[in-house]
Structure 1
Amino acid sequence: MVREWSGRAPGWIALVVHGYGEHSGRYQWLAEQLVSARAVVVAPDLPGHGESPGERVLISDAEQVVADLDAVRREVSERYPQLPVVLIGHSLGGMFAVRFAQEHQDELAAVVLSGPVLGTWHVLDLLECDEIPQAPIDPSTLSRDPEVGREYEADPLVWHGSFKRATLRMIDRCLEAVNDGPALRLPTLWVHGEDDELVPEADTRTGIDRVRGLDFYEHVYPGARHELFNETNRAEVVDEVLTFVGRELNT
Structure 2
Amino acid sequence: MAPAQEWTFDGFDGRRAARCWVRGTPRYVALLCHGYGEHIGRYEYVAHTLTGHGAAVYGLDHVGHGKSAGERVLITDFELVVDDLHLLADRARADHPGLPVVLIGHSMGGLIAARYAQRHGSELAALVLSGPVLGRWDAVTQLLSLPEIPDTPIDVDTLSRDPDVGRAYAADPLVWHGKFQRRTLEAMAAALETINAGGDLGELPTLWIHGAEDLLVPVDGSREGVERIRGSRFSQQIFPGARHEVFNEENRDEVLSTVTRFIDGVLG
* Same fold, judged at TM 0.5 (above): yes
Normalising by structure 1, we get a TM-score of 0.99
Aligned to 1:136: 153
Counterparts in 2 of 1:1-251, with a 5 A limit? 1-124=17-140, 125-185=142-202, 186-250=204-268
Q: Distance in 2 between matches of 1:66 and 1:153?
A: 28
Q: Distance in 2 between matches of 1:171 and 1:237?
A: 27
Q: CA deviation at 1:183?
A: 0.3
Q: Which amino acid in structure 1 is aligned with residue 119 of structure 2?
A: E
Q: CA deviation at 1:123?
A: 1.7
Deviations 1:139-169 (A, max 9, x none): 0000000000000000000000000000000
Q: Which amino acid in structure 2 is aligned with residue 164 of structure 1?
A: Q
Q: Distance in 2 between matches of 1:152 and 1:120?
A: 26
Deviations 1:67-94 (A, max 9, x none): 1111110111012111010000000000
| Structure 1 moving runs of 4+ over 2 Å | none
Deviations 1:153-207 (A, max 9, x none): 0000000000000000000000000000020120000000000000000110011
Q: Secondary structure at the match of 2:68?
A: coil
Identity %: 53
Q: Secondary structure at the match of 2:71?
A: coil
Q: Which amino acid in structure 1 is aligned with residue 182 of structure 2?
A: R
Q: Distance in 1 between matches of 2:252 and 2:176?
A: 24
Q: Which amino acid in structure 1 is aligned with residue 97 of structure 2?
A: P
Deviations 1:31-53 (A, max 9, x none): 00000011000010010000001
Tell me the matched-pair count: 250
Aligned to 2:14: none
Q: CA deviation at 1:3?
A: 1.3
Q: Distance in 1 between matches of 2:153 and 2:187?
A: 18
Unaligned runs of 5+ in 2: 1-16
Aligned to 2:4: none
Q: Distance in 2 between matches of 1:199 and 1:205?
A: 10
Q: CA deviation at 1:135?
A: 2.0
Deviations 1:53-75 (A, max 9, x none): 10000010111001111111011
Q: Which amino acid in structure 2 is aligned with residue 98 of structure 1?
A: A
Q: Distance in 1 between matches of 2:245 and 2:157?
A: 11
Q: CA deviation at 1:130?
A: 1.1
Q: Distance in 2 between matches of 1:46 and 1:137?
A: 19
Q: Which amino acid in structure 1 is aligned with residue 173 of structure 2?
A: P
Unaligned runs of 5+ in 1: none
Deviations 1:116-139 (A, max 9, x none): 000111221111111111121110
